[in-house]
Amino acid sequence: MEVFLSALASLTQGFANLSWQGVFMIALACVLLYLGIGKKIEPLLLVPIGFGVILGNLPLANMSAHDEGGVINLLYEGGILTELFPVLLFIGLGAMIDFGPMLGNPIVLIFGAAGQFGIFLTLLLALAIGFPREQAVSIAVIGAMDGPTAIYVTSKLARELLPAVSIAAYSYMSLVPIIQPPIMRAMTTKKERATLMAISEKKVSQKVKILFPIVAAIITILIAPMGAPLMGMLMFGNLMRESGVLKRLVDVSEGALANVVTLFLGLTIGASMLGGNFLKWQTLLVFLLGLVAISLDTVTGMLLGKLMRVLTKGKINPLIGAAGTSAFPMSSRVVQKEGQRANPRNFLLWHAIGANTGGQIGSVMAAAVMLAIMAGMGI
Amino acid sequence: MTDLAFGLTMTVIGMGVTLLTLYLLTLVIRLLNRLYPFKEEKKRS
């Protein structure tokens, strides 16, 4: 009878060790799964993250990212803490991006810098609130609107914030069509939004397309070597794409590789969201500051757009400025939609995509420069 | 260094270097476009 009771007791250990935080996180995971499966919002990320949260928060399962020796822990230590997953994702990203619109109209690259200003303003805000410097930088990088970059920087500087920062970065990326339009409308008059831009799909030679990733990698890495893993892989992926001789590798990079890494990344990040360390006011602040960062990126991009409109005597539609972020291609689509709403004859997509790819380079550059300055300060 | 000084240093240097680097890249692209302008491929007869 005693043996029977102890056997029964061992089977109830899981229930007995379930904390209220664990239950809350499992409920939250169900919401993520519903959004991913039911509403089809970023299913590639939300489904693995949601299920990872469930696995990580079930007691005694040894499936959280922090359970040493567990399967997920292996992925966490090998892929996240070593920064391998975000770096591998950048190869796929480079293989997917066509820099053609930017190469045909290089001035739009400047919008990619203006779109990063929100990162730095949010850094000041996070420091003022009282976040330590490493955490403040990690939170500010949410404004890069670039999941892999945010994960890369946070895994270097503030691993304790990794779950909150990565969820915020990916969530806000998918919410760009909701976050940006009200800011765009508030900052411009209908006349400004209706500004027609010349449709000049300037073609670029294949030699330029091949040489750009090589030269860009050399220049940017020489300036900020700390960003070499991200910039190097982004440009390598793009070189493979433009070279025209590595079709099989390009197919793998933008397909299987990116998918496998996204799967492991999502599952692992989800399994690192444990109730005890996620359910804090700090997490809420991270989300709020991330939203501020993304909004400020849009504001500063639009301000540059307005300035450019004045300088070019009305040849540039200020909405283009909102695309100078890393949310590719969501920001471009939003710009196109808002432009056409103000003037049905407007076709801003080509210009917006140029600014958007500039934002991709700008966000990596901003993160690399921040890491380089931190390293220079001995932090 | 106070947090404010740290934040301002990051902002000024970070934003400045990002802007300068991207401007440098625009110059590089212009140069490449000048060196290797787009030419329509000749139709093979």
ipTM: 0.89
Instruction: Find out whether B33 and A208 touch, Cβ atoms under 8 Å.
Output: yes
Q: How far apart are CA A221 and CA A227, in angstroms?
A: 7
Read out DSSP for A322-349?
Answer: GG-SS-TTHHHHHHHHHHHHH-TT---H
Among the partner-chain residues B8, B10, B21, the one whose CB lies closest to the CB of A223 is: B21
Residue A72 token pair: 């997920």
Q: What pLDDT, on the 0 to 100 scale, is given for residue A231?
A: 94
A218 contacts: CB under 8 Å, gap ≥ 6: none
User: Closest approach of chain A CAs to the CA of B43, in angstroms?
Assistant: 16
A205 close to B (CB below 8 A)? yes
Query: Per-residue pLDDT tens for B1-45?
Result: 788 899 999 999 999 999 999 999 999 999 999 999 988 765 554
**Mutation choice for B interface testing from A370, A371, A379 by most B CBs within 10 A:** A370
Among all residues of chain A, which has the CA nearest to that of B1? A377
- Cβ distance B3 to A112 less than 8 Å, yes or no, reads no
Cβ distance B25 to A120 less than 8 Å, yes or no, reads no
Q: Is B45 on the interface with A (CB under 8 A)?
A: no
Q: Closest partner residue to B22 among A204, A365, A373, by Cβ?
A: A365
Which among A133, A203, A362 has the least Cβ separation from residue B38? Answer: A203
- Smallest Cα–Cα separation from A183: which of A332, A288, A297, A289? A297
Over residues A271-304, the pLDDT tens digits come to 999 988 888 899 999 999 999 999 999 999 999 9
* Rounded alpha-carbon distances, angstroms, from residue B4 to A10, A136, A138, A296, B9: 55, 12, 17, 19, 8
What three-state secondary structure class fits A353?
Answer: helix
**How is residue A245 annotated by DSSP?**
S
- Concatenate the DSSP letters of all residues of A43-106 into one string: HHHHHHHHHHHHHHHSTTS--STTSTTSHHHHHIIIIITT-HHHHHHHHHHHHH---HHHHHSG
Which residue of A lies nearest to B3 if distances are taken between CA atoms?
Answer: A127
CB A323, CB A331: distance < 8 Å:
yes
- In chain A, pLDDT over 70 holds for what percent of residues? 99
- Global pTM? 0.89
Residues 250-279 of A with CB under 8 A from B: none
Stated as kind and residue range, the H or E segment containing A130 is: none
Is the CB of B36 less than 8 angstroms away from the CB of A211? yes
Sign of dihedral through CA atoms A337, A342, A346, A348?
Answer: negative
- Is A212 within 8 Å of B28 when comparing Cβ atoms? yes
Q: Please check whether residue A127 touches B, CB under 8 A.
A: yes
Kindly state the average pLDDT of the residues A9-19.
Answer: 85
Cis check for the bond before A177: say yes or no (omega within 30 of 0): no
* Residue B39 near chain A (CB below 8 Å): yes
Contact by Cβ (8 Å): A141, A164: no
Nearest to A130 by CA among B13, B12, B2, B8: B2
B21 to chain A: closest CA residue? A220
Q: Does A296 touch chain B (CB under 8 A)?
A: no
H or E segment and range at residue A358: helix A349-376
User: What's the CA gap between A220 and A206, in Å, rounded?
Assistant: 22
A370–chain B Cβ distance below 8 A for any pair = yes
Distance from CA of B37 to the nearest CA of A (A): 6
pLDDT category, A171, cuts 50, 70, 90?
Answer: confident
Check CB contact of B31 with chain A, cutoff 8 Å.
Answer: no
- A369 and B13 in contact by Cβ < 8 A? yes
Mean pLDDT across chain A: 91
Closest C-alpha to A234, from A324, A122, A145, A326? A326
Q: B7 and A127: CB-CB below 8 Å?
A: yes
Q: Is the pLDDT of residue A32 over 80?
A: yes
Question: Is residue A30 predicted with pLDDT exceeding 60?
Answer: yes
With 0-12 / 13-18 / 19 or more C-beta atoms within 10 angstroms meaning exposed / middle / buried, residue A341 is middle
Residues 6+ apart with CB under 8 A from A204: A100, A103, A104, B33, B38
